[in-house]
């Protein structure tokens, strides 16, 4: 499989930005007919390496050779023309254009200078058929699901006779079925001799599809390994660089007993809450001091449940009781009044205010609750902000720095602090650990445990089943926009059982309380 | 790099450095061209002189620009301020012109109250379109910008309303403590807006809504109310500016009162360092921007150039200021000038300095 | 977020995208119907021709604006650029240059300014609003710089173009301007639908970041649309000088608003990415018919035009909002 010459070689690549050395003397090679995973924590230099390769950034030092010839692309278009195509994490298509046009725009077949629309549509259908996708190619891309859009992006990428296909976190918004479909296509393309560079945060996926792994750390190369020679734990060690307590924490599965809250009165009681087109009516009870995990595939309605509970979307049926009193949660303001906080999964779009400082981001929710006529005295602000910067070890510990300058993990902690300052009784965390490095991840997990020990109720949503299992007292399982089961997280519950519930739906209904 | 060098860079990177520099250069050039430019004399217990004139004439623009700053900070824009100036001026003048005694203070105050009320209603209209119906601000206010001129003419029935009212004229030409009253009105408005935003949490909330509206909503901010509020404030500021404009000439012309003031106001805000994309706002910068624009206009008048041709100079200033403030241009300029990349430690610091506290 | 993934049934999709244009068409027909039912002279076909004759320049400029708005930008300079083009033509003709040379020089002004503005927008990343505002100031300043007063045009070519009537034996006619405007419309419609430039315009309006990552020439396209808008403003200026046979420093003030209104009423979404040249034609016709109706009425004053245009803008924007054409 890899006995041939590499199709792509990068040698001694260095790249600096003002004040930051993003890549230092990195070597990388890619063979035809392999899936090569590029691994590393956030900030390790994966994206930079890809951008250097495709010519988005210039190279400071080092050479790139494609098929033995030295190349220096001036942008993604030139790279694609030379057979190096990229599909990005966030689907980069034009939502207003048709599927067919999205595949061919920029290189439409033309007749006498005019775009030949018939040919565009015909070839688009052909190409999508190769990916087993039968959709209306004249419909605007915006009318399809993210997964389909991702496939369209891949169709676009492979149309140019790609020899190298770069997939930059293509799976982060796909559910398991969609990932399987993507993998099937990746294997098919690999067997056709295409070299695939695959970037992902999901370790399982790497071991599910990759042939070879290259690990980066702090902009430097750690090594290149055949998949068989690098067990999962070793990979994590190489990515982090040293064995941290973190790893032990990850391994020991400190599952908690489900008894913690049996006696207490429920804090939030939801009955038949639902919203047409978003989530079917569901009932859920959350006690003080309890961590309820919400498991399910992406698109199964997890986020929708969270948004209804927080009033971010308005429920069109059902009722909510807080402390036994019926109450409406029609908007976030009402939810916050009831002591509910919500960290959105979409940190950049729905979380941080990039322009504002760390301090302002932290006190925002509290200030909003007080109303703008009653500003929080500056001394109190500083006190609160200092306390949480310390407690959550936010770095850099400068409250006046604009939050956009912080790393993803630290931004997430700022958001947590924003809600912790309001001293909520229920904190809804939607994918709080996604896309952040392992150190920050462990810290956030630890925090969740501490908070619930302190009496706060937490609704914990994560795509990583393991994380949900480790933290939750109780697990609510979502499937196809329905809450299908609630499992007490005791010894009988493990990943397999949750997985089965997700797969088979209501079978385990009896197990719920 | 020496300490002094670093300090110089810090100064150069300050967001108000270039606006101040432009203003100083313009004043200096004027003084060279006409040595008496900066002289101020006392006459009848009032101060007279070009600097005073610049302050007095920039008052309406400052007012409009203050409201505009808040609107722009929320990520919006208010194109209708010129029309609101015209409408409020026309209503006030119409009421006064029909009154038996135009010098009656009660009459004038009633007129002002009516006109201000109308302006608040127009501001509320804009606010509803933007915050409730969710129309893009530039389009929502374009409606009133187009229709408002028609409304102003409708109020005045296509005529230019001339009045002869002492109290009303005072708004534009009166004096207080040797200085023109208009300066105090603008100053009071500036202080009021500053207190309104910085003494309360309104400023931060406005910036937060402008920086990321959905995130603000999820943090429990009632974004809609805030956005609604800034359009009402903007209209109120425009109405007062409209009074000044019409008081200056003791007449209201639906077609020409406040013509293009929205553009000047937006320009003043941008010169002052507030981004058109929303987020952080700087009231001081806005006032500075308004002064620059008025100084430019006065300079051009003083050089006996027709007011229309003054637009040429305005174009040059717009381009110059925008280029200087554009990060892309700064980067290119810096690279060309220094040849070698700047020492690594100075770059992050520069960035930090550019980031306002 | 994920509600995006619920796709509309196919029958609902097509009309939704075309609804603004259809609504404009319906409005136009209704207004014309009102005119015909109220005023006997309105049914005369020449009334329709006159709408085209009186608004030919507006149509051409609106076509250019459509390109800009489709990319999500805006061009405030068009009115001033048209005025400057007319002014320069009149001035050069007055100083005795041959008509053809004047035509060429005058037609270069708009694209040159547009190109420069496009470059400023692209290379220095300054908002189109501000850059074209500066362009507007500059062009208007140049007008008065040339002359404070209106310059009449006596040139033979210009007067021929102005007065030549293409018509049928019964006396109905159109001017050459109308033909020019039609030519511009057809070329623009072809460019938008069938050339890479046109498709790139839509792509950039849909999502500029994606367009860039898909390897589309973002900068070139952006600069091109402002150049096209400048060219259209230039052609519009020439047509304007045919129409008025003069160059006046204060002509076409505020025309950019009419043009933007026409484009929006024609169904082009101001955030970019959705709209048609055909819609813009309808939008201009709507404005023209409103003016005609108000003229026919006689009892209504001219300011009602502005109020009605404002009202229509509101109605159409509300319509766009209700049917939810917002891809962003």
Residue B212 near residue B105 (C-beta atoms within 8 A): no
**Among C68-82, C89-103, C125-139, the least confident range:** C125-139
Separation in Å, CA of C55 to nearest CA in chain B: 18
pLDDT 10s digits, B219-261 = 999 888 899 999 999 999 999 999 999 988 888 887 888 888 8
CA distance from start to end of chain C = 12
Residue B261 near residue B242 (C-beta atoms within 8 A): no
**pLDDT value for B118:** 95
Report, as an integer, the average pLDDT of A95-106.
88
- Does residue B344 sit within a domain? no
Q: Quick one: closest CA in B to A342, which residue?
A: B218
* Number of domains present in the structure of chain B: 1
Torsion of CA B63, B68, B69, B73, to 10 degrees: 160
- Model confidence at A175: pLDDT above 60: yes
Confidence of residue A237 (pLDDT cuts 50, 70, 90): confident
Instruction: Give the Cα-Cα-Cα angle C212, C215, C221 (nearest 5 degrees).
Output: 65
Separation in Å, CA of C141 to nearest CA in chain B: 4
CB contact under 8 Å between A368 and B202, yes or no, is no
**pLDDT value for C204:** 92
Residue C282 near residue B122 (C-beta atoms within 8 A): no
**pLDDT value for B3:** 62
- Does residue B30 sit within a domain? no
- Model confidence at A130: pLDDT above 50: yes
- Does residue B335 sit within a domain? no
Q: Quick one: closest CA in C to B305, which residue?
A: C145
* More confident: C218 or B2: C218
- Model confidence at A87: pLDDT above 50: yes
**pLDDT value for B52:** 85
* More confident: B325 or A368: A368
Confidence of residue B67 (pLDDT cuts 50, 70, 90): very high
Separation in Å, CA of B81 to nearest CA in chain C: 15
Helix C255-265 vs helix C45-70: angle between axes, to the nearest 10 degrees? 90
- Does residue B217 sit within a domain? yes
pLDDT 10s digits, C278-314 = 999 999 999 999 888 888 877 777 778 888 888 888 8
Domain encompassing residue B180: 50-303
Q: Which residues does chain B have within 8 Å of residue C309's beta carbon, measured at their own beta carbons?
A: 146-147
Instruction: Give the Cα-Cα-Cα angle C58, C139, C124 (nearest 5 degrees).
Output: 105
Rg over CA atoms, chain C: 20
pLDDT 10s digits, C233-249 = 999 999 999 988 888 88
Confidence of residue B11 (pLDDT cuts 50, 70, 90): low
Q: Quick one: closest CA in A to B345, which residue?
A: A19
| H or E segment to which residue A471 belongs | helix A465-471
Phi, psi dihedral angles at A12 (to 5 degrees): 60, 40
Q: Where are the domains of chain C?
A: 19-322
**pLDDT value for A244:** 45
Q: What is the mean pLDDT of chain B?
A: 82
pLDDT 10s digits, B279-295 = 889 999 999 999 998 88
- Model confidence at B69: pLDDT above 90: yes
**What CATH number is attached to the domain comprising B135?**
1.10.3470
Alpha-carbon gap, residue B347 to B342, rounded angstroms: 7
**pLDDT value for C327:** 38
- Does residue B327 sit within a domain? no
Which pTM does this prediction carry? 0.77
Q: Where are the domains of chain A?
A: 8-250, 253-339+424-511, 352-423
pLDDT 10s digits, B292-311 = 988 888 888 777 777 777 77
- Does residue B5 sit within a domain? no
**pLDDT value for A505:** 58
Confidence of residue B83 (pLDDT cuts 50, 70, 90): very high
Chain A interface, best mutation among B203, B218, B229, B343, by max A CB count within 10 A: B218
- Does residue B357 sit within a domain? no
Q: Which residues does chain B have within 8 Å of residue C302's beta carbon, measured at their own beta carbons?
A: 158
Rg over CA atoms, chain A: 24
Residues above pLDDT 90, as percent of chain A: 14
Report, as an integer, the average pLDDT of A223-246.
73
**pLDDT value for C137:** 84
- Model confidence at A38: pLDDT above 60: yes
Domains A8-250 and A253-339+424-511 share a fold: yes
**pLDDT value for B338:** 46
Question: C19-322 in CATH: which number?
Answer: 1.10.3470
CATH of A8-250 given 3.20.20.70, 3.40.50.300, 1.10.4080.10, 3.20.20.10: 3.40.50.300
Note if the bond before A257 is cis, omega within 30 degrees: no
Report, as an integer, the average pLDDT of A140-145.
81
Q: Does B59 touch chain A (CB under 8 A)?
A: no
Report, as an integer, the average pLDDT of C184-209.
92
CB contact under 8 Å between A375 and B200, yes or no, is yes
Q: Quick one: closest CA in B to A399, which residue?
A: B357
Q: How many CA atoms, within 13 angstroms, populate the side-chain half-sphere of residue A175?
A: 21
Chain C interface, best mutation among A91, A96, A312, by max C CB count within 10 A: A96
**pLDDT value for B12:** 63
Question: A253-339+424-511 in CATH: which number?
Answer: 3.40.50.300
pLDDT 10s digits, A371-392 = 888 889 999 999 999 999 988 8
Q: How far is CA A142 from CA A39, B163, C19, C216, in A?
A: 31, 59, 18, 19
Specify the residue for token string 């500083």. A382
- Does residue B78 sit within a domain? yes
- Model confidence at C4: pLDDT above 70: no
- Model confidence at A172: pLDDT above 70: no
């Amino acid at each position: 499989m890899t006995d041939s010459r590499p199709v792509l070689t990068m040698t001694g690549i260095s790249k600096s930005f003002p004040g930051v050395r993003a890549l230092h003397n990195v070597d990388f090679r890619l063979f035809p007919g392999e899936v090569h995973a590029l691994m590393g924590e956030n900030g390790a230099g994966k994206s930079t390496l890809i951008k250097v390769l495709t010519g988005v950034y210039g190279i400071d030092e080092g050479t790139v050779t494609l098929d033995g010839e030295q190349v220096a692309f001036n942008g993604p278009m030139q790279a694609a023309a030379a057979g190096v195509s990229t599909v990005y994490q966030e689907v980069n298509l034009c939502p207003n254009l048709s599927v067919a046009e999205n595949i061919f725009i920029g290189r439409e077949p033309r007749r006498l200078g005019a775009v030949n629309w018939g040919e565009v549509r015909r070839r688009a259908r052909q190409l999508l058929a190769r990916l087993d996708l039968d959709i209306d190619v004249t419909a605007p891309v915006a009318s399809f699901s993210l997964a389909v859009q991702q496939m369209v992006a891949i169709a676009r990428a492979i149309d140019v006779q790609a020899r190298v296909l770069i997939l930059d976190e293509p799976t982060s918004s796909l559910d398991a079925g969609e990932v399987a479909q993507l993998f099937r296509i990746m294997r098919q393309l690999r067997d056709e001799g295409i070299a695939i560079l695959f970037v992902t945060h999901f370790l399982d996926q790497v071991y599910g599809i990759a042939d070879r792994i290259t690990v980066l750390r702090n902009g430097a190369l750690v090594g290149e390994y055949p998949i068989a020679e690098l067990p999962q734990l070793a990979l994590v060690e190489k990515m982090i660089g040293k064995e941290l307590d973190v790893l032990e924490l990850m391994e020991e599965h400190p599952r908690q007993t489900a008894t913690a809250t049996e006696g207490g009165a429920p804090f939030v009681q939801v009955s038949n809450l639902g919203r047409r087109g978003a989530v079917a009516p569901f009932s859920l009870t959350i006690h003080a001091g309890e961590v309820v995990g919400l498991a399910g595939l992406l698109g199964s309605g997890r986020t929708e449940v969270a948004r209804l509970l927080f009033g971010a979307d308005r429920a069109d049926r059902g009722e909510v009781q807080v402390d036994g009193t019926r109450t409406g949660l029609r908007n976030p303001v009402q939810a916050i009044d009831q002591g509910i906080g919500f960290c959105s999964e979409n940190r950049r779009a729905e979380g941080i205010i990039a322009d504002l400082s760390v301090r302002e981001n932290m006190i925002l929710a509290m200030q909003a609750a007080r109303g703008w006529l009653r500003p929080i005295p500056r001394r109190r602000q500083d006190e609160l902000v200092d306390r949480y910067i310390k407690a959550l070890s936010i770095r850099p510990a400068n409250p006046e720095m604009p939050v956009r300058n912080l790393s993803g993990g630290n931004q997430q902690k700022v958001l947590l602090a924003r809600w912790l300052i309001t001293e909520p009784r229920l904190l809804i965390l939607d994918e709080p650990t996604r896309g952040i490095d392992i150190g920050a991840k462990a810290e956030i997990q630890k925090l969740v445990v501490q908070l619930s020990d302190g009496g706060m109720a937490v609704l914990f949503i994560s795509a990583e089943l393991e994380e949900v299992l480790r933290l939750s007292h109780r697990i609510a399982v979502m499937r196809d926009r329905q809450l299908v089961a609630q499992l007490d997280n005791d010894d009988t519950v493990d990943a397999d059982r949750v997985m089965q519930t997700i797969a088979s739906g209501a079978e385990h209904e009896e197990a719920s309380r | 790099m020496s300490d002094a060098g670093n300090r110089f860079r810090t100064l150069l990177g300050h967001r108000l450095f270039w606006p101040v520099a432009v203003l100083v250069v313009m004043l200096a050039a004027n003084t060279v061209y006409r040595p008496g430019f900066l002289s101020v004399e006392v006459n009848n217990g009032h101060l007279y002189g070009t600097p005073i004139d610049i302050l007095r004439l920039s008052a309406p623009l400052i007012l409009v620009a203050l409201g505009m700053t808040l609107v722009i900070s929320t990520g919006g824009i208010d194109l209708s301020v010129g029309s609101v100036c015209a409408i409020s001026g026309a209503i006030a003048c119409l009421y006064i012109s029909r009154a038996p005694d135009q010098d009656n203070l009660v009459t004038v105050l009633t007129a002002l109250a009516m006109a201000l009320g109308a302006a608040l209603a127009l501001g509320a209209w804009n606010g509803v379109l933007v915050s409730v119906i969710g129309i893009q601000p530039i389009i929502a206010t374009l409606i009133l910008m187009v229709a408002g001129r028609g409304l102003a003419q409708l109020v005045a029935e296509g005529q230019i309303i001339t009045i002869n009212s002492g109290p009303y004229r005072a708004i534009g030409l009166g004096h207080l403590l040797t200085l023109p009253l208009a300066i105090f009105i603008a100053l009071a408005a500036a202080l009021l807006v500053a207190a309104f935003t910085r003494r309360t949490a309104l400023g931060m909330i406005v910036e937060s809504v402008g920086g990321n509206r959905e995130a603000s909503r999820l943090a429990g901010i009632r974004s809609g109310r805030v956005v609604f509020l800034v359009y009402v404030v903007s209209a109120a500021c425009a109405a007062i500016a409209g009074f000044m404009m019409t008081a200056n000439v003791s007449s209201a012309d639906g077609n020409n009162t406040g013509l293009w003031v929205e553009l000047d106001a937006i320009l003043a805000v941008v010169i002052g360092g507030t981004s058109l994309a929303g987020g952080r706002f700087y009231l001081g910068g806005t006032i500075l921007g308004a002064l620059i624009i008025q100084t430019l206009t006065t300079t051009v008048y003083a050089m006996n150039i027709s007011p229309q041709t003054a637009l040429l100079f305005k174009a040059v200033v717009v381009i110059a200021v925008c280029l200087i403030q554009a990060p892309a241009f700064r980067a290119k300029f810096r690279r060309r000038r220094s040849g070698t990349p700047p020492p690594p430690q100075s770059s992050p610091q520069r960035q930090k300095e550019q980031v306002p506290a | 977020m994920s509600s995006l993934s619920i796709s509309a049934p196919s029958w609902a999709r097509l009309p939704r995208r075309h609804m603004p244009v259809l609504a404009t068409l319906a409005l136009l027909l209704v207004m014309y119907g009102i005119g015909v039912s109220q005023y006997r002279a309105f049914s005369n076909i020449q009334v329709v021709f006159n709408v085209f004759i009186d608004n030919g320049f507006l149509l051409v400029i609106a076509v250019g604006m459509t390109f800009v708005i489709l990319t999500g930008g805006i061009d405030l300079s068009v009115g001033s650029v048209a005025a400057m083009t007319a002014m320069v033509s009149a001035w050069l003709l007055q100083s005795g240059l041959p008509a053809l040379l004047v035509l060429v020089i005058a037609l270069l002004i708009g694209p040159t300014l547009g190109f420069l503005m496009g470059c400023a927008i692209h290379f220095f990343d300054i908002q189109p609003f501000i850059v074209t505002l500066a362009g507007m100031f500059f062009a208007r300043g140049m007008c008065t710089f040339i002359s404070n007063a209106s310059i009449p045009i006596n040139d033979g070519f210009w007067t021929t173009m102005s007065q030549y009537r293409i018509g049928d034996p019964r006396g109905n006619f159109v001017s050459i301007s109308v033909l020019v405007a039609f030519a511009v419309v057809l070329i623009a419609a072809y460019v938008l639908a069938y050339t890479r430039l046109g498709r790139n315009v839509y792509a950039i309006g849909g999502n500029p970041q994606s367009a860039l990552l898909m390897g589309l020439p973002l900068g070139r396209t952006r600069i091109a649309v402002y150049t096209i808008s400048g060219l259209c403003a230039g052609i519009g200026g020439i047509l304007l000088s045919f129409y008025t046979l003069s160059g006046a420093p204060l002509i076409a003030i505020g025309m950019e608003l009419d043009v933007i209104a026409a484009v929006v009423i024609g169904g082009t979404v101001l955030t970019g990415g959705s709209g048609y040249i055909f819609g813009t034609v309808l939008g201009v016709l709507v404005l023209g018919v409103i003016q005609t109706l108000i003229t026919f009425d006689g009892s209504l004053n001219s300011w009602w035009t502005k109020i009605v245009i404002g009202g229509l803008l509101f109605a159409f924007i509300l319509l766009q909002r209700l049917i939810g054409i917002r891809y962003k």
